[in-house]
Structure 1
Amino acid sequence: MTRHRRSRKAAKEQLVEAEAWDEGVDEPQEAPADEPDETGWQTSTAQMASLSRLVRAGVWALVVSGPLLGTLAFLTSSAPAQGVSKPAAAATTASSVGPAGFAELFVSAYLQAGQGTERDLAPYYSGSVALAVKPGTRTATQSTVIASREVQPDYWSVTVAADVTAHDDKGKSTRLGVQYFRVGIQATDPAGASGTEQGAIAAYAATSLPAQVAAPAALKPGGLAYETDRGSSSADPSVETASGFLAAYLTGTTELDRYTSPGTRLQPISPTPYAEAKVTGVQDDSTSASQQKVPADRTVLHQLVQVDATDLGGSTVSLSYALTLKSRAGRWEVASVDDAPALRVSGTPSAAPHTTPAPDAAEATPSPSAS
Structure 2
Amino acid sequence: MATHKTVEPKRKQSFVCSWVPSLIFLSTLFFIGSALLLTDYKEVDIGFIQHPIEVTKSKICEKEECIPDGTETLPRGIVTRTSDLEMRPLWGPPKKKKSKSPMNLLAIAVGIKQKKNVNEIVKKFQLTDFAIMLFHYDGNVDGWRDLEWSSSAVHVSAVNQTKWWFAKRFLHPDIVAAYDYIFLWDEDLGVEHFHVGRYLSIIKEEGLQISQPAIDADKSEVHYTLTARKTNSTLHRRAVNLHGPGYKCFENSMDPPCTGFVEMMAPVFSRESWRCAWHMIQNDLVHAWGLDFLLGYCVQGNRTENIGVVDSQYLIHSGIPSLGGSGDGKTNDAEIDRLASMTTTVDGFDGRTSVRIASLNKFKNRWGNAVREDECWVDPFHQPS
Query: TM-score by structure 2 length?
Result: 0.26
Query: TM-score by structure 1 length?
Result: 0.26
* Structure whose residues are more often strand by fraction: 1
* Structure whose residues are more often helix by fraction: 2
Q: Higher Cα Rg: structure 1 or 2?
A: 1
Q: Which has the higher contact order (CA 8 A, sep 6+)?
A: 2
